[in-house]
Amino acid sequence: MLPIDPHADLGRRAWISCPGCFDNLDCGDCRDGRNCGVHWRYLLGNTGSRLHLQCPGCTHVWDHETHFGAGGIAPC
């Protein structure tokens, strides 16, 4: 098990399913798309639309592509 990243900040969180433990699958709030107080992830940073995350439960570290702001759509 990895230690929690030293740059992890409780004030920077994301609510994305952890591919390491999937601990949020039985949570009604998470299933309904709400931000619950238990199943959040440390948001370690981002590179463009790619988030760098760590699960505080199993300490898994991964990247998640949001596609937010990506693409070739010209602004209005």
Residue 72 has pLDDT above 90, yes or no: no
pLDDT in tens, 17-61: 999 999 999 999 999 999 999 999 999 999 999 999 999 999 999
Write out the residue range of the structural domain in which residue 49 sits: 13-65
Contacts 24+ apart (CB under 8 A), 22-25: 23/55, 23/57, 23/58
pLDDT at 70: 55
Q: Confirm whether 72 is domain-assigned.
A: no
Number of domains in the chain: 1
Q: Confirm whether 61 is domain-assigned.
A: yes
Q: Confirm whether 54 is domain-assigned.
A: yes
DSSP conformational letter for 53: E
Q: Confirm whether 60 is domain-assigned.
A: yes
Q: Confirm whether 21 is domain-assigned.
A: yes
Q: Confirm whether 43 is domain-assigned.
A: yes
Q: Confirm whether 29 is domain-assigned.
A: yes
pLDDT in tens, 5-18: 998 999 999 999 99
pLDDT at 5: 93
pLDDT at 69: 75
Q: Confirm whether 23 is domain-assigned.
A: yes
